[in-house]
Amino acid sequence: MSPQVIVRPARPDEFDAVGELTVRSYVTGGLLDREDPYVARLYDAAGRARDAELLVATDDTDRLLGTVTVCEPGSPLSEVSRPGELEFRMLAVSPAARGRGIGELLTRAVLDRAAQRGARQVVLSSSEWMSVAHRLYTRLGFSRLPDRDWQPVPGLRLVAFGRSRAADG
């Protein structure tokens, strides 16, 4: 991991670029079809900043490298979290910046926020085929929460993961 990468809240002037980066990250490599209706949600970084905490990773020239959205249980973007937990969504790293630990840095930023807020667990759900992300989560101590798997639309199963704060030791 390059020491110059920082994680911070996104600025309004970055919302369009964050939306673009998120879409590019999911569409590159065929994780999502560009015609999929979910693409419009991925573009909507301004909505994520309004309803949740929109974080970005940038380099020392302020170039955007990645993003993640942190949401509270019961808030408009939450899907699988329960009271006392913290959820994250739409983790994305620019294809050109992958393999440098930026996804890990963004996920650790979520874990840090959970610790600061006293959340007992961090949770997320993800498409079954997002295996690179799943390896990252497993490496960081997340495990599967099969009882929270769900289907946003019939036939599309999302798999849930969680990392309890007890894992911090």
Ligand X SMILES: CC(C)(COP(=O)(O)OP(=O)(O)OC[C@H]1O[C@@H](n2cnc3c(N)ncnc32)[C@H](O)[C@@H]1OP(=O)(O)O)[C@@H](O)C(=O)NCCC(=O)NCCS
Residues that bind ligand X (CB under 6 A): 25-26, 31, 91-93, 98-104, 126, 130, 132-133, 135-136
Rounded least distance, CB 89 to ligand X, Å: 8
CA distance 84 to 77: 16
CA distance 70 to 48: 9
- Minimum CB distance to ligand X smaller for 118 or for 151: 151
Beta bridge partners of 54: 69
Other residues' Cβ atoms within 10 Å of the Cβ of residue 114: 23
The dihedral formed by the CA atoms of 26, 28, 29 and 32, expressed in degrees to the nearest 10? 40
* Residue from 65, 49, 38, 58 nearest 15 by CA: 49
- Minimum CB distance to ligand X smaller for 34 or for 118: 34
Rounded least distance, CB 85 to ligand X, Å: 16
- Minimum CB distance to ligand X smaller for 30 or for 74: 30
Q: Which two tokens stand for residue 29?
A: 């490599």
Rounded least distance, CB 164 to ligand X, Å: 19
Q: For the chain, what is the radius of gyration of the CA atoms?
A: 15
Which single residue brings its beta carbon nearest to ligand X? Answer: 99
Rounded least distance, CB 16 to ligand X, Å: 18
Rounded least distance, CB 132 to ligand X, Å: 5
- Minimum CB distance to ligand X smaller for 43 or for 118: 43
- Minimum CB distance to ligand X smaller for 115 or for 132: 132
